[in-house]
């Protein structure tokens, strides 16, 4: 019984769209053309964003404010405690 192994050839990787080869698009444009391209790409990306509703935004804002208030209170409490401890220790 003979056993033969076959090697599957992997497909050659192709460069990503933003790789080294993608610069040829922007090299032919002048400075204003590149700015215009950047603006169009930014606008296209912003259209993909799922913007929160007003209710979601208010909820997220409330969560952030509560968390920040808690953390400020916690750090201030530790600071006050350390000041009292160091004052009592070195008094």
In a domain, 70, yes or no: yes
The tokens describing 29, both together, are 């444009």
Domain total of the chain: 2
Would you say residue 65 has pLDDT above 60?
yes
Instruction: Give the integer Cα–Cα distance in Å for 72 and 81.
Output: 14
In a domain, 86, yes or no: yes
60 and 89 both lie in a single domain: yes
**Predicted pLDDT at 91:** 79
Would you say residue 1 has pLDDT above 80?
no
Give this prediction's pTM. Answer: 0.51
Do 60 and 52 meet the contact criterion of CB atoms below 8 Å apart? yes
Note the pLDDT tens digit of each residue in 6-15: 666 767 766 6
- Residue scoring higher pLDDT (31 or 13): 31
Q: How confident is the model at residue 31 (pLDDT cuts 50, 70, 90)?
A: confident
> What is the domain range of residue 84?
52-91
Instruction: Give the integer Cα–Cα distance in Å for 53 and 56.
Output: 5
Q: How confident is the model at residue 72 (pLDDT cuts 50, 70, 90)?
A: very high
Residue 21, C-beta contacts closer than 8 angstroms, at least 6 positions apart? 15
Q: What is the mean pLDDT of the chain?
A: 85
């Amino acid at each position: 019984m003979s056993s033969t192994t076959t090697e599957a050839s992997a497909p050659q990787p192709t460069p990503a769209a933003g790789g080294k080869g993608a610069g040829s698009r922007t090299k032919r444009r002048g400075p204003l053309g590149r700015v215009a391209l950047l603006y169009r790409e930014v606008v296209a990306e912003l259209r993909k964003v799922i913007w929160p509703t007003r209710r979601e935004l208010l909820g997220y804002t409330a969560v952030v404010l509560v968390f920040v208030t808690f953390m400020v209170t916690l750090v201030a409490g530790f600071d006050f405690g350390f000041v009292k401890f160091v004052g009592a220790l070195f008094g």
